Amino acid sequence: MKIIKIKAEIHIEDIMPEIQRNEDTLETYVHILSAMNSTSRLTGERDPSKIWNEHLLDCGFSLPLIPEIGSAVDVGTGGGLPGMLWAICRPHLNVYLLDSVHKKCAAVGEMIRNLGLKNAFVVCDRAEIFAAENRERFSAAATRAVGHLGLCAEYMSPLVMKGGILLCFKGPKVEEELKEVGPSWNKLGLSEPEIYSYRLGEKNLFLVVWKKEEYCPKTFPRKPGRAQKLHWWRCVR
């Protein structure tokens, strides 16, 4: 039985004006990322056109959902997506690009310097440690290709202030993962998720968005590695 209720569909026409306004800087970023992939394996893809079409445009579908100002954190940024896109397209939004892999952090830091971005900042740390030191500081948080929806929510919720949003990019497994967690999101201070659908080429993809309705319980973040070993949604029922 289908459990996904789509709040809205985001179309490519909804994002292209903003992409086109920032096209020169975005193209420069893509070519830097392509060159760095030969040594750092940031996205697994080296062809600039494929990076643009399969990664950058994918992240572009989040643009209608994120704030214009404030601060945001990209958890598990890898090669800088969606965080670098946000920083380029949202000059008044401070974007923190968080990853625990030093080689990736060094590469993203070099990209920021090359592009002259003043609103993008690299943080090389575990999400759990960074959240403990920066609790509920951010207006928005995002994860892409990080893992199960429940894990992503646990990593992000302690970082996002009450009234902020959490956003996760997902593919076909979204329905299965939503079903596994069930109606337990309030245990992290979150609303029930809203689902936005979009098409990228032949793929049907989804953005899962939560509102931070209450403060995250002080039991989160847990110690590094605990989230994967003991799923919070199996403990709260």
What is the C-alpha separation between 53 and 102, in angstroms, rounded?
27
Sign of CA dihedral 101, 119, 132, 191: negative
Q: What are phi and psi of 8, to 5 degrees?
A: -165, 160
No. of H helices and E strands in the chain? 11, 8
Residue 144 assigned as binding residue: yes
Residue 127 assigned as binding residue: yes
| Distances 124 to 78, 81, 85, 202 between C-alpha atoms, Å | 11, 15, 19, 35
Length of the chain: 237
Which residue do the tokens 């004006």 mark? Answer: 17
Residue 21 assigned as binding residue: no
3-state helix, strand, coil in the chain (%, to 5): 45, 25, 30
Residue 57 assigned as binding residue: no
Helix/strand/coil for 17: helix
For 13, the token pair is: 């026409």
What is the C-alpha separation between 230 and 237, in angstroms, rounded?
13
What is the C-alpha separation between 87 and 50, in angstroms, rounded?
21
Residue 113 assigned as binding residue: no
Show the beta-strand stretches assigned E in 62-137: 70-75, 93-99, 120-124
Write out the binding residues: 76, 81, 127-128, 144
Write out the binding residues for S-adenosyl-L-methionine: 76, 81, 127-128, 144
